[in-house]
Amino acid sequence: MAATIILLLSLLIVKIGDAEQQVLLKLKNPRLMNCRFDKIYQFGDSISDTGNCIRESLCEAQFWCKRPPYGMDFYKHVTGRCSNGMLIIDFIAMECDLPLLNPYKDENAEFRHGVNFAVAGSTAISAEFLAENNIDNIGATNSSLSVQLDWMSSHFHTTCSPNCPEKLNNSLFLVGEIGGNEFNFGFLQGKTIEESRKIVPEVVQTIIHAVKRTIDFGATRIIVPGNFPIGCIPFFLTKFMTNNSTAYDEHHCLKDLNNFVIFYNRYLQQAIDELKNDYPNITLIYGDYYNAFMWLLENAVSLACCGIGGEYNYNVHISCGDPMVPVCVDPNTHISWDGIHFTQNAYSWLARWLIDDMLPKLNCQV
């Protein structure tokens, strides 16, 4: 089965390797077109940032996604996306038969079909809360979820107020994926699993508060994604490599890290279910990024494509984008792009799995 999936991935990219052809191919049968979304609003971090970080001075200065080979399969130039090409949000937009979302920080951009507020390195909780819990904000941005919500508020006050509920009635909101970096930062700074569990309620409540703010403006269909299984990511596999074979599961992922993510995701799901009781007329959907990734992991190569050295082709001291770091021959057969983020092809398949999972819950016309 693995060989079959890899072949399919390759054929997909061969067909749509040129970005313009990609849009045309996707528009032939957009699976979310019956949902009749006319706008999409995205909050998040580097999983969905399409160009905000590179427009923040501090973030841009430390941003490795700003240089080649990032963007090599997206019009052959860097856009601020942390991949060789497109992201999940790009594929969702095309499946809605909408243009790709422009980043909020692009002052010359057009926002008739939505806005991308996501910033690479961002957290759900504030830098102040991180500091109170002795976690340094190493993400090179202070544009946490609350800041992104303030951007949303400013945008809506100038574009749809006072009729936002009417104008946003056919919009899709994605609140996340966000709420992973604070845990990543903590683990890298020596925080234990138990210490990280203690801040899960605060992270989740911050995300739920964000969902409520979007509802207050008029959002009626909202996706709230969980986190990926970080124990399967080359960066963490390299950083926390051990000779203890019992630390790994059958997929050679680190069990403790994945079990933590499962704990977090369940907490988030429970909070979403409770919120549904308060808003019975709002469509709230949990985005199951964890199981989407595990499905893909069983069917493709997980080594980093753009990397060097080590068991996972990843080196914590030298990143993708450095002249000394090579790129694999065929990114289409890899899940991981740079040891942390995924390839365009992986994002394409993740988006496909997620749409298949969420479509019946979106209350779209058939």
The per-residue pLDDT string of the chain (366 residues; one tens digit each, 9 = 90 and over) reads: 333 333 333 333 333 334 333 333 344 678 899 999 999 999 999 999 999 999 999 999 988 899 999 999 987 889 999 999 999 999 999 999 999 999 999 999 999 999 999 999 999 999 999 999 999 999 989 999 999 999 999 999 999 999 999 999 999 999 999 999 999 999 999 999 999 999 999 999 999 999 999 999 999 999 999 999 999 999 999 999 999 999 999 999 999 999 999 999 999 999 999 999 999 999 999 999 999 999 999 888 778 999 998 899 999 899 999 999 999 999 999 999 999 999 999 999 999 999 999 999 998 876
Predicted local distance difference test score (pLDDT) of residue 6: 39
| Residue 341 bears catalytic tag | yes
Region at 338 (left for phi over 0; alpha for psi -120 to 50; beta for the rest): alpha
pTM of the shown model: 0.92
The single residue of 122, 144, 338, 348 carrying the catalytic annotation is 338
| Residue 338 bears catalytic tag | yes
Predicted local distance difference test score (pLDDT) of residue 11: 31
Predicted local distance difference test score (pLDDT) of residue 28: 66
Predicted local distance difference test score (pLDDT) of residue 309: 87
Contacts of 266 (CB under 8 A, 6+ apart): none
The single residue of 196, 319, 341, 348 carrying the catalytic annotation is 341
Predicted local distance difference test score (pLDDT) of residue 366: 61
Between CA 80 and CA 66 the distance in angstroms is: 6
Question: Angle of helix 200-217 relative to helix 255-278, nearest 10 degrees?
Answer: 40
| Residue 209 bears catalytic tag | no
Region at 41 (left for phi over 0; alpha for psi -120 to 50; beta for the rest): beta
Of the candidates 28, 173, 31, the residue with the CA atom closest to the CA atom of residue 96:
31
Predicted local distance difference test score (pLDDT) of residue 330: 92
| Inter-residue contact 299 to 268 (CB < 8 Å) | no
Other Cβ atoms less than 10 A from the Cβ of 286: the count is 19
Backbone angles phi, psi at 359, to 5 degrees: -55, -45
Burial 121-159 (b: 16+ CB within 10 A, else e): bbbbbbbebbeeeebebebbbbbbbbbbbebbeebbeee
The single residue of 45, 46, 143, 144 carrying the catalytic annotation is 46
Of the candidates 359, 195, 360, 176, the residue with the CA atom closest to the CA atom of residue 269:
176
Predicted local distance difference test score (pLDDT) of residue 186: 97
H helices then E strands: how many in the chain? 14, 5
